[in-house]
């Protein structure tokens, strides 16, 4: 079987809710990142055989097959098809898995794995909350209710459960959040994101034209006092908006090819996809799945966590990476080395490709060999991807 390689990466800088990307339609946002990816790779745009795009809330402006719409908005040839993937927060990481499997099988040689989420323009949960509001029912079927009677599926509740189960108080979560901002700020100031971010020309609500190339969510003046002053989401809990991921507008894309694609188009690979795993777990605690999924991925790869140089574990809430590291005995110095979603933002279905872009860039920056990416997903699932820098 052929190998799958990541030949180019691209992402937008994250936009805060109502921020610099708020005026950009999500199809245009994703389209500009697709164009940026193809442009920096140097490949003939007509050589792209498919675009697989993750999106967690595929409704409204993100509906009607956002992948195809992004292609049409990008200026890529009409011959380039596209399809949408929904594995909630792991949508674009799953897009990577599908793209890699496709080129490994030799069905296609050049596929883009991507993701997008405009959380300003399509608020989180809109496709199902809007349907319920207008009398079209809910995803909670009678079969689900029978299996989980009077049991909510809540990411916020799951985060509180994770903190209690693994013994993290608010002080520990806030300290982790502060470190996320410090690492993201240091990475930005040192130009560590330059290899992955596609600068985008945007126009503000006031009509000012500017280039957006710095993640808006980073608090360069973050302090423990400011983070600790943010109101808790639940009385008596430990989760606040400051130690949870930021609502974010963003898109990311990865060029995935096999050996034939590399040779035909004269591409230089950045990384090889070494292992791909996905696992279902408890949908109530919901956010714990990255732990057993990582264990399964390492076992399948014949590796230990000590073989992995860098880990990207999505900072949906601070207890997620902290519990992951505690349960697996991970080295904190290798975890989210350039910050994570607490500081950089979490554009839901776009985050999988975004994290991989950052992981590949960080591996090259440090001359490291293996990287592992995982993230919790609604419904109690997790994808895990292990890559080798080339």
* CATH number of 286's domain: 3.40.47.10
- The answer, yes or no, to whether residue 207 has pLDDT greater than 90, is no
57 included as an active-site residue: no
Residue 206: pLDDT band with limits 50, 70, 90: confident
55 included as an active-site residue: no
Residue 87: pLDDT band with limits 50, 70, 90: very high
Q: Could you read off the pLDDT of 248-293 as tens digits, one per residue? A: 999 999 999 999 999 999 999 999 999 999 999 999 999 999 999 9
Residue 283 lies in a domain: yes
Task: Give me the phi and psi of 133, to 5 degrees please.
Answer: -60, -35
89 included as an active-site residue: yes
Specify the number of domains making up the chain.
1
Range from 26-35, 201-210, 308-317 carrying the lowest mean pLDDT: 201-210
- The answer, yes or no, to whether residue 239 has pLDDT greater than 90, is yes
Residue 161 lies in a domain: no
Residue 169: pLDDT band with limits 50, 70, 90: very high
Residue 322 lies in a domain: yes
Residue 39 lies in a domain: no
Residue 11 lies in a domain: no
**CA-derived radius of gyration, the chain:** 20
Residue 330 lies in a domain: yes
Residue of 55, 57, 84, 89 with catalytic role: 89
- The answer, yes or no, to whether residue 1 has pLDDT greater than 90, is no
- What share of the chain in percent tops pLDDT 70? 100
Report field, pTM of the whole predicted structure over 0.95: yes
Residue 134 lies in a domain: no
Residue 300 lies in a domain: yes
Range of the domain at 376: 273-389
């Amino acid at each position: 079987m052929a190998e799958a390689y990541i030949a180019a990466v691209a992402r937008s800088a994250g936009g805060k809710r109502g921020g610099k990307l708020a005026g950009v339609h999500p199809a245009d946002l994703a389209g500009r990142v697709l164009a940026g990816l193809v442009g920096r790779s140097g490949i003939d745009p007509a050589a792209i055989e498919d675009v697989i795009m993750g999106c967690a809330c595929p409704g409204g402006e993100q509906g009607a097959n956002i992948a195809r719409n992004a292609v049409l908005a990008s200026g890529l040839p009409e011959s380039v098809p596209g399809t949408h993937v929904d594995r909630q927060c792991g949508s674009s990481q799953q897009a990577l898995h599908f793209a890699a499997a496709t080129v490994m099988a030799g069905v296609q040689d050049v596929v883009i794995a991507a993701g997008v989420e405009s959380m300003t323009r399509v608020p989180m949960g809109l496709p199902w909350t809007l349907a319920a509001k207008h009398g079209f029912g809910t995803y909670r079927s009678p079969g689900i209710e029978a299996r989980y009677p009077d049991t909510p599926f809540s990411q916020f509740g799951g985060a509180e459960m994770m903190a209690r189960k693994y013994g993290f108080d608010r002080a520990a979560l806030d300290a982790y959040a502060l470190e996320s901002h410090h690492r993201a700020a240091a990475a930005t100031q040192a130009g560590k994101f330059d290899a992955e971010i596609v600068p985008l020309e945007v126009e503000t609500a006031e009509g000012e034209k500017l280039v957006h190339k710095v993640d808006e969510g980073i608090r360069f003046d973050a302090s423990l006092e400011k983070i600790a002053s943010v109101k808790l989401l639940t009385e008596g809990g430990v989760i606040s908006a400051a130690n949870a991921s930021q609502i974010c507008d963003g898109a990311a894309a990865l060029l995935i090819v096999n050996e034939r694609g590399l040779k035909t188009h004269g591409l230089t690979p950045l990384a090889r996809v070494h292992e791909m795993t996905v696992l279902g777990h408890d949908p109530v605690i919901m956010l714990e799945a990255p732990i057993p999924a990582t264990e399964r991925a390492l076992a399948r790869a014949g590796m230990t966590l000590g073989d992995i140089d860098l880990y990207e574990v999505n900072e949906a809430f601070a207890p997620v990476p902290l519990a992951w590291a505690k349960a697996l005995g991970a080295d904190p110095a290798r975890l989210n080395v350039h910050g994570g979603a607490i500081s950089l933002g979490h554009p839901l279905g776009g985050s999988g490709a975004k994290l991989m872009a950052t992981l590949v860039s960080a591996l090259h920056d440090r001359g490291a060999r293996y990287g592992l990416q995982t993230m919790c997903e609604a419904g109690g699932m997790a994808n895990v991807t292990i890559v080798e820098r080339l």
